[in-house]
Amino acid sequence: MKNLHRNIVKLHGYCLHKRCMFLVYEFMEKGSLFCALSNDVEAVELDWAKRANIIKVIAHALSYMHHECIPTIDHRDICSNNILLNFELEAFVSDFGMTRLLDLNSSNQTSIDRTYGYFALGESDVYNFGVVALEMLMGRHLGKLLTSLSSSQSVMPNEILDKRLPPLNHLVAQDISLVAAISFACLRTKLKSRLTVKWVSQQFLSHKKPTMNSLQAVPLWQLRNKETYTVGESET
């Protein structure tokens, strides 16, 4: 990949031995995001500010892969197991075993097995990003929980936040509100209303953010089913 994004794990080399192939990647001291969220001590170390930053850099890396990388790339298996953390808890996209080069002139879709809980037809990377972002808010793997959350008429976004962390303060409330709104917008069931990773990345760079009230006033099912998303500029 030409001009590799800094938040994509670097491949240093490979070795072929008989029928085995070994890939040598950049070492990530903290392991996967999934393992960090599964460990109570490490999960607390991932405070709200760090989680918001991790979600943003994942979005920027995916946007690079889809729109700036030469050739452009569809990862196809974005999940918390495939997001690695270094010693400073910076996030890096890894595991390109299911990757394919994007043909922008083709509407063909490939049906394959992906990590459970992450599969969606069409723009799968942006859907899977939404799942990972929601896992960061909740502090655990979603599995079938996503269906029950989005269909409930009463669950509010602030009620699903990881209870291992202290309540949100004013310094990070807007960032977490933005993550909640965008993550559910990425999970829309209608492909025509789903976002692109480029637009998601731009939203995180925008200075226009929702207020903390958005976590307390809009039920989860409305966030997911809302046809229009108004934070920041419109997608072009």
pLDDT per residue as tens digits for the range 40-73: 999 999 999 999 999 999 999 999 988 888 788 8
What value does the mean pLDDT take over residues 88-112? 63
Q: Which CATH number fits domain 25-102+116-225: 2.60.40.10, 3.40.50.620, 3.90.1720.10, 1.10.510.10?
A: 1.10.510.10
What value does the mean pLDDT take over residues 167-187? 84
Select from 76, 72, 80 the least CA-distant residue to 124. 76
Comparing 108-117, 194-203, 224-233, the range with the smallest average pLDDT is 108-117
pLDDT per residue as tens digits for the range 144-157: 676 666 566 667 77
pLDDT of residue 26: 87
Where in the chain are the domains? 25-102+116-225
| Residue 17 confidence class, pLDDT cut points 50, 70, 90 | confident
Is 77 designated active site?
Answer: yes
Single pTM value for the model:
0.80
Dihedral of CA 130/131/132/134: which sign? positive
**Residue 233 scores a pLDDT above 80:** no
Provide the pairing of β-strand 11-17 with 20-25. Answer: antiparallel
Contacts of 23 (CB under 8 A, 6+ apart): 11, 13, 14
Partners of 11 in the beta sheet? 25
Instruction: Please tell me whether residue 22 adopts helix, strand or coil conformation.
Output: strand
pLDDT per residue as tens digits for the range 113-134: 445 444 444 468 888 999 999 9
Choose, from 74, 77, 125, 175, the residue flagged as catalytic. Answer: 77
Q: What is the mean pLDDT of the chain?
A: 78
Instruction: Give Cα separations from 136 to 10, 106, 123, 193 (angstroms).
Output: 24, 33, 21, 23
Comparing 84-88, 125-129, 187-191, the range with the smallest average pLDDT is 187-191
